[in-house]
Amino acid sequence: MNAKRIDHVGIVVKDLDEALATYGKNFGFSVDASKGGEVAGLGIKNAFMPVGESDLEFIQPLTSEGPVAQFAAERGEGTFMLSRAVEDVEKAVEHLRGLGVRVGNPTNGVAFVSMKSTHGVNLQLIERKNS
């Protein structure tokens, strides 16, 4: 698996609008309106703020279930996930599984590496062509 860029860093927040206002006003970042929104299947809503070639993803849980809600319940707010861009997520998953790494099945261009294979770091692979 070739080294590619970090696509984004996921940050769990209690109130998405408040976090975006804080980072916008105090850090000078702007929301990328082409990404984000409510993801009913994951029970979250999110928004992205580009910083150089990577984004900060702010994620608010909307339900009490799922990994984001669990993180929020246990730790409150904080750095949740690292997302790494890959050229072809299917090939990346196949490659990692060949090395014995536990990876979930890709869905909509995204796959999650088991935290048992990363010493506990929440790592996502995301397909980004030509990035």
Give the per-residue contact string, 33-72, with another protein (x = CB under 8 A; - = no).
------------------xxxx-x-x--------------
For another protein, the binding residue among 21, 40, 78, 90 (CB under 8 A) is 78
Q: How far is the CB of 40 from another protein (least distance, A)?
A: 23
d(CA 84, CA 126): 6
Measure the CA–CA gap between 67 and 55, rounded to whole angstroms. 20
Q: Is 81 in the site for another protein (CB under 8 A)?
A: yes
Indicate the residue among 28 and 41 with the shorter CB distance to another protein. Answer: 28
Among 35, 77, 88, 109, binds another protein (CB under 8 A): 77
- Asked if 130 touches another protein (CB under 8 A), the answer is no
* Residues 12, 62: Cα–Cα separation, whole Å: 11
User: Cα–Cα distance between 67 and 70 in angstroms, integer?
Assistant: 5
Q: Are 46 and 59 in contact (CB under 8 A)?
A: yes
- Interior CA angle at 32 toward 109 and 127, to 5°? 15
Q: How many residues bind another protein (CB under 8 A)?
A: 44
Q: Which is nearer to another protein, 5 or 41 (CB)?
A: 5
